[in-house]
């Protein structure tokens, strides 16, 4: 199970580190290794969130996430995305941006860093919406009940999460964006525009995937009702065959809807991954400004996040440790706040990674305690009748 899930990650690690050693020597090998660890530590909560979404998708789309999705994550977000950002902000062609990244690494780093306010505002608001929609939703299982119960009541107000996100954006634009360290000057307009873009992106992609998912569930419920009705009427074999054919037709429709829902969920996953990767890409410049070392190191880390996501899905870890999703969403909320704060302030990536690890670790331990408590209660319930019958 472990080798099957992480086999490609292990292989990419060996090949990547060997390639780094050949191209850049021991120094390059060390840099790529450090970047890989940085990416894993920063994105562990990403794996938990991804697993919560990926388990709703069929095996085909899980494979797409692991193949095509990893190409987007490694080459798209870790290599192409910074180049595109430089091309847009510096108003140059992508070819010129690539040439700059190879031949003038210091200026390339400066331009990527200067674009950080817009990147942080977009990613921060997008991630904040994920956290808010989770925390304002009524749930049967609550981790921090004293906090989640009142917030769930507030969440009954429609668009409340959007209002909170916009208020957070306004606060960021009128405080940390007025005197920015990255690029210098007043970036209020830039932060407002990028933040609104992040909010709109979340509403569009999340709304479309949610629509198809709800439609799929409705069709499945209708199909089950039709089947139950046919069984209650005791239809004969010929009618049953016709009903089966109708169900097959409905099943095809459901499969089509599942495909659409899965497609938009896949897009949603990729946007989430993009938002998570912003801090890793920016933080990587503290270690190296070579885009190829950066892409290789962060790419290896992204492979492990993908494999860890599938591992969590296949092992049913989120079902066994019910507070993990809560911890991951709290980590997302913390990351969103940190991203918005980094518009002006320098926050070490170690702090960002530790916050996520601590929150997820705490939720994991709470899940273990809960499972032990329920197991002990179950054993006690079974033991009690035995003692009574013995008397």
Pair of tokens at residue 56: 């709703």
User: Taking the model in full, what pTM does it have?
Assistant: 0.75
**Rounded distance, CA 172 to CA 192, Å?**
9
Crossing angle of helices 324-341 and 2-54, in 10° steps, is 70
pLDDT < 70: residue spans in the chain: 1, 181-184, 209, 212-259, 278-279, 282-283, 286, 380-391
Cβ contact 318:367 at 8 Å: no
What was the pLDDT predicted at 241? 40
CA-based max dimension of the chain: 88
Task: Give the DSSP letter of residue 136.
Answer: T
Q: What are φ and ψ of residue 165, in 5° steps? A: -65, -40
Q: What pLDDT, in 10s, does the model give residues 212-226?
A: 666 666 666 666 666
The DSSP-derived string for 269-338 is HHHHHHHHHHHHHHHHTTT---HHHHHHHHHHHHHHHHHHHHHHHHHTHHHHSTTHHHHHHHHHHHHHHH
Q: What pLDDT, in 10s, does the model give residues 3-22?
A: 777 888 888 899 989 999 99
Portion of the chain with pLDDT greater than 70, in percent: 80
Q: What pLDDT, in 10s, does the model give residues 71-106?
A: 777 777 777 877 887 787 778 888 888 888 888 888
**Rounded distance, CA 102 to CA 240, Å?**
68
**Rounded distance, CA 193 to CA 188, Å?**
9
């Amino acid at each position: 199970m472990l080798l099957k899930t992480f086999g490609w990650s292990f292989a990419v690690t060996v090949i990547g580190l060997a390639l780094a050693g050949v191209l850049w020597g021991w120094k390059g090998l060390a840099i790529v290794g450090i970047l890989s660890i940085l990416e894993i530590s920063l994105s562990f909560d990403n794996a938990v969130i991804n697993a919560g979404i990926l388990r709703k998708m069929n095996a085909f789309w899980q494979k797409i996430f692991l193949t095509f999705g990893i190409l987007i994550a490694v080459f798209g977000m870790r290599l192409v995305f910074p180049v595109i950002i430089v091309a847009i902000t510096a108003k140059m062609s992508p070819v010129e941006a690539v040439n700059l990244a190879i031949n003038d690494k210091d200026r390339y780093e400066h331009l990527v860093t200067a674009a950080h306010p817009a990147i942080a505002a977009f990613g921060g608001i997008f991630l904040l919406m994920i956290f808010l929609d989770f925390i304002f939703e009524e749930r049967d299982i609550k981790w921090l009940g004293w906090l989640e119960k009142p917030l769930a009541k507030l969440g009954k107000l429609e668009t409340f999460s959007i209002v909170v996100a916009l208020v957070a954006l306004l606060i960021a634009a009128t405080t940390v964006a007025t005197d920015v360290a990255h690029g210098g000057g007043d970036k209020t307009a830039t932060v407002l525009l990028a933040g609104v873009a992040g909010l709109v992106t979340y509403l569009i992609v999340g709304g479309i995937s949610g629509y198809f998912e709800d439609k799929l569930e409705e069709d499945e419920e209708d199909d089950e009702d039709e089947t139950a009705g046919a069984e209650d009427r005791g239809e004969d074999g010929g009618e049953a065959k016709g009903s089966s054919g109708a169900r097959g037709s409905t099943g095809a429709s459901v499969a089509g809807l599942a495909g659409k829902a899965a497609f938009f969920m896949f897009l949603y996953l990729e946007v989430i991954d993009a938002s998570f990767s912003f801090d890793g890409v920016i933080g990587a410049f503290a270690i190296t400004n070579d885009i190829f070392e950066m892409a290789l190191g962060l790419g290896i880390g992204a492979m492990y996040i993908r494999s860890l996501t599938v591992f969590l899905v296949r092992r049913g870890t989120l079902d066994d440790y019910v507070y993990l999703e809560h911890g991951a969403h709290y980590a997302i909320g913390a990351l969103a706040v940190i991203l918005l704060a980094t518009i002006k302030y320098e926050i070490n990536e170690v702090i960002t990674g530790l916050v996520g690890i601590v929150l997820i670790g705490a939720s994991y331990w709470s899940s273990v305690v809960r499972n032990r408590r329920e197991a002990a209660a179950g054993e006690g319930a079974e033991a009690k009748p035995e003692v009574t019958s013995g008397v």
